[in-house]
Amino acid sequence: MSDEMLKIYEELLRQINRVYDSYVEQVKRLNNMWSDYKSAVSNVKRNWDADNVLLMLRINELRASIDSIREELDMLKVRKELGLIDDEEYSKISAELTDTLTKLSNMYEEARSKVDEIDKGIKEHWFRSMDVTTLTTDQVDGMIKELEENKAKGEVPEDVYTRIKSDLELIKRVVQALALIKTESKA
């Protein structure tokens, strides 16, 4: 092989190495960003699981108030039918209670909608951050078992346990479906 041909191939190898080095660095950056993303998602999910329980308690209090006002309206109607209050008093109290009921119902729907929106967004990121293509059902079962052990120790509140177990059961179904797809594609 002539020196000139050797120089051409050496230059070609240098170009390949430059491109290779560039992509190695880009892949490293992607891996670091992926790791940071997964960590951030995990932190947000952990915080959300705790905050969601508190928010749902408040929302349930609002729901209880709405139910209480509905009962009050029913009782008011009975009192009117029994002649314990006159039409004017009934109309006045009924209008006030109905107005309050409408406002509280709107607050409830708004709060519930916001919590559901955040929950959906966080779950989307959480599912995205899990590499379900490499997870096995045994690993997910292990996560469920660990969750149940932590619940038994009193480290996980019932509401958080229910939410996380539901999420893990969904992930398990996804992993099972992926395993089935992989099996079918090999056949």
Locate 33 and state its tokens.
Answer: 């960003």
pLDDT exceeds cutoff 70 at 80 = yes
* 80: CB partners within 8 A, 6+ apart: 87, 90
Q: How confident is the model at residue 187 (pLDDT cuts 50, 70, 90)?
A: low
Region 43-68: what's the mean pLDDT? Answer: 94
Region 139-159: what's the mean pLDDT? Answer: 88
State how far the Cα of 92 lies from the Cα of 86, in Å rounded to an integer: 10
pLDDT exceeds cutoff 70 at 21 = yes
Region 19-42: what's the mean pLDDT? Answer: 95
pLDDT in tens, 124-138: 898 888 777 778 888
pLDDT at position 50: 87
Domain residue spans of the chain:
130-187
Distances in Å between the alpha carbon of 83 and those of 70, 89, 90, 167? 20, 11, 10, 54
